[in-house]
Amino acid sequence: MQDVLKVGIAGLGTVGASVVRLIAKRDNRLAEAAGRPIRVTAVTARSRKKDRGIDLSGVRWVSDAVTLAADPDIDVFVELMGGAEGPAKDAVEMALSKGKAVVTANKALLAAHGPALARKAEAKGVALNFEAAVAGGIPVIKTLRESLLGNTIERVYGILNGTCNYILTRMAEEGIAFEDCLKDAQKLGYAEADPTFDVDGFDTAHKLSLLTSLAFGTLVDTKGISIEGIRSIKPVDLRMAEELGYRVKLLGVAQRTADGVEQRVHPTFVPKDAAIAQVNGVLNAVAIDADAVDLTLVGPGAGGDATASAVIADIVDVARGHRTAPFIRPVAALTKPSRAPMTRHEGGYYIRLEVVDRPGTAARIASRMAQNNISLESIVQRRSGPVRGGTDPAAAAPAPVVLITYATTEAAVRRALKAMDSDGILIGAPQVIRIERD
């Protein structure tokens, strides 16, 4: 058996502590699988005194992450601190410059600097592994890097943020408002005190940018992603989805189109019988549509043990001497992405309007849709309450109208809604949610 693989870990939060514990617990099994023993020999974290429920008696403490990354007595540097800049970036760059393999769960770092870090890894002939950066314990990176190389991928999409999936699930099942559900998620530890990164779609976008690069051979392009979060979703939208045969999920979607690679993050209507519609709570799911196979992978997208499972799998690959280009192809072979404008997106749409309840309104809606060549699959109209302030039709209460369109373009939908607004029949902003039918 080969010499011990010495691991240094920067960051001993929930994931880092789980990595230390699981490596110690599965010592013999990992050695048999890797062909050599794996030991955590050095660590660094903000507090040395904190009780993490793990035995660190035989482990060296190092003053900071960059010093640990340069330590000549470690073989693998594991970065679990997070953040796109600062100590995380500096330490990963240091480790690569010293010819050390790097394992990271840091999607923000890779979304911002992935290709540059991959170049450094290639130049030194070392691994840069990041299975845990996308969808926690789901092995989607390895699937794209290794298992699907014989395929041409047309689309990759999924539920990539457990916080949003938890909130949408609770809203649908219990009919509660977004704000109330978010407060519950924060109390349970599913959402941060500042939830912006999760609920506004940025976390999903970072993960999607990595999947896009792996699936389509493009440079990481987070700026090319159209991003919408879930703050605008109302209980009425979830009730209408159920009534019409759909569920609402925040999806990250990347797909080939005639105009280039389309990347988008947004709430989405998915058919209730689709596999991804059954993924509830804090679970994640990634679906891959390819010419030879279609796959849907489901599992925990976060949590100490689930994410540590992915980190340890990457460490075992290093111990085995298994190395592949971080983004499958050498960075020099990655192409500059040709962005498909969101206005050219084609698909079905759910459109909920609040309109003035007066004669001719429905006809005007139908006329504006027809003028933009938008065919309607269904129209659902709910009667409004009594007229406010007497018999004046202009004072009528808002009447909700829900439209489901056949495939059309984003640009056509926006033109039709702009025209309705100019007609003076809309009250407030329309709700527009895209539909993924398969």
Is residue 260 in a domain? Answer: yes
Is residue 406 in a domain? Answer: yes
pLDDT of residue 437: 78
* Averaged pLDDT, 44-49: 89
pLDDT of residue 48: 87
pLDDT digits (tens, 9 = 90+) for 381-414: 865 444 444 445 444 556 789 999 999 999 999 9
* Averaged pLDDT, 21-39: 94
pLDDT top residue among 338 and 331: 331
Range of the domain at 404: 343-435
Is residue 387 in a domain? Answer: yes
Measured from the Cβ of residue 128, the count of other Cβ atoms closer than 10 Å reads 26
pLDDT of residue 189: 84
pLDDT of residue 192: 87
- Sorted by sequence, the CB contacts under 8 Å of residue 102 that are 6+ apart come out as 76, 77, 78, 79, 92, 95, 96, 117, 121, 126, 127, 128, 129
Q: Are residues 116 and 156 in the same domain?
A: no
Extract the tokens encoding 276. Answer: 């991804």
Length of the chain: 438
Whether residue 220 is predicted with pLDDT greater than 50 in this model: the reply is yes
pLDDT digits (tens, 9 = 90+) for 89-145: 999 999 999 999 999 999 999 999 999 999 999 999 999 999 999 998 999 999 999
Q: Are residues 227 and 201 in the same domain?
A: yes
Q: What are 51-60's contacts with CB under 8 Å, separation 24+?
A: 52/12, 52/17, 52/20, 53/17, 53/21, 54/17, 54/20, 54/21, 54/24, 55/24, 56/20, 59/20
Q: Are residues 283 and 363 in the same domain?
A: no
Last residue of a domain, one of 103, 133, 163: 133
Is residue 329 in a domain? Answer: no
Q: Which residue has the tokens 């196979």?
A: 293
Catalytic status, residue 223:
no
The percent of residues in the chain predicted with pLDDT above 90, rounded, is: 82
Q: Are residues 296 and 157 in the same domain?
A: yes
- Distance in Å from the first CA to the final CA of the chain: 49
pLDDT of residue 438: 66
**Side-chain half-sphere of 318: how many Cα atoms within 13 Å?**
34
CATH number at residue 245: 3.30.360.10
Q: What DSSP letter does each residue of 119-177 carry, written as one string?
A: HHHHHHT--EE-GGGSSTT--HHHIIIIITTTS-EEEEEEE--HHHHHHHHHHHHH---
Q: Are residues 264 and 370 in the same domain?
A: no
pLDDT digits (tens, 9 = 90+) for 276-318: 999 999 999 999 999 999 999 999 988 899 999 999 999 999 9
Amino acid at 416: A
Identify which of 330, 393, 326 has the alpha carbon closest to the alpha carbon of residue 357.
393
pLDDT of residue 396: 52
- Give the global pTM: 0.92
The percent of residues in the chain predicted with pLDDT above 70, rounded, is: 96
**CA gap 38, 50 in Å, rounded:** 25
Going through 258-309 in order, the beta strands assigned E by DSSP cover 260-271, 283-290, 294-300
Last residue of a domain, one of 112, 133, 154: 133
Catalytic residue among 6, 207, 223, 418: 207
| Partners of 128 in beta bridges | 102
Identify which of 396, 300, 416, 398 has the alpha carbon closest to the alpha carbon of residue 351.
416
When divided into structural domains, the chain yields a total of 3
Q: Are residues 85 and 188 in the same domain?
A: no
Q: Are residues 264 and 230 in the same domain?
A: yes
Whether residue 215 is predicted with pLDDT greater than 50 in this model: the reply is yes
Q: Are residues 195 and 260 in the same domain?
A: yes
Q: Are residues 31 and 110 in the same domain?
A: yes
Is residue 327 in a domain? Answer: no
Is residue 305 in a domain? Answer: no
Is residue 285 in a domain? Answer: yes
**CA gap 406, 244 in Å, rounded:** 14
**CA gap 104, 36 in Å, rounded:** 21
Extract the tokens encoding 105. Answer: 């769960």
CB 253 within 8 A of CB 157: yes
CATH number at residue 423: 3.30.70.260
pLDDT of residue 382: 67
pLDDT of residue 393: 46
Last residue of a domain, one of 235, 269, 300: 300
Q: How does the average pLDDT of the chain come out, rounded?
A: 92
Q: Are residues 65 and 178 in the same domain?
A: no
Is residue 174 in a domain? Answer: yes
Q: Are residues 114 and 200 in the same domain?
A: no
Q: Are residues 88 and 232 in the same domain?
A: no
